[in-house]
Amino acid sequence: MEIQQVLLCVHREEFILGLLELQDQEHLMILTENKSVKDKLSQLAYFDVMLYAEKLSLNLEVSIYKVIVWDDDISRICRMIEWIKMNTSAPIILVTNQINYPTDFFKRIGAKHVIYSQSTSLSFLLGNR
């Protein structure tokens, strides 16, 4: 039986507290390039946390129904969206404060929705399915 999950790509340590307040952690898979984020999330909460590597591939028993990329670094955003598109066909939601780039740019590289936000909470995006 396939497990339906949200893939969340997060790299900044200040976002960790926002993740800890989430109610439905068992349906959330975290992908990060930041080893300290991985270590802290693995210690503090029940999350499936993966450390990004280009050769990393998703577990075939997991069905990703939504991807959220929560980042502000343009090169990392592009790299993560490219990797995501190779591994799943789930819609990609980008949450960023990178207002120097238009929404159309992010949509062209693969994001279905773009949300410009300064918030450190994603609970509004991870509500009921």
pTM here is 0.84
Residue 65's closest CA among 92, 40, 39, 38?
A: 92
CB atoms within 10 A of CB 86: 10
Give me the mean pLDDT over the 35-56 stretch: 77
With pLDDT > 90 as the criterion, what percentage of the chain qualifies? 27
Q: What is the mean pLDDT of the chain?
A: 81
Q: Map residue 85 onto helix, strand or coil.
A: helix
Backbone phi and psi for residue 85, each to the nearest 5 degrees, phi listed first:
-60, -30
User: What number of other Cβ atoms are within 10 A of residue 99's Cβ?
Assistant: 10
Torsion sign (Cα): 99, 104, 108, 112: positive
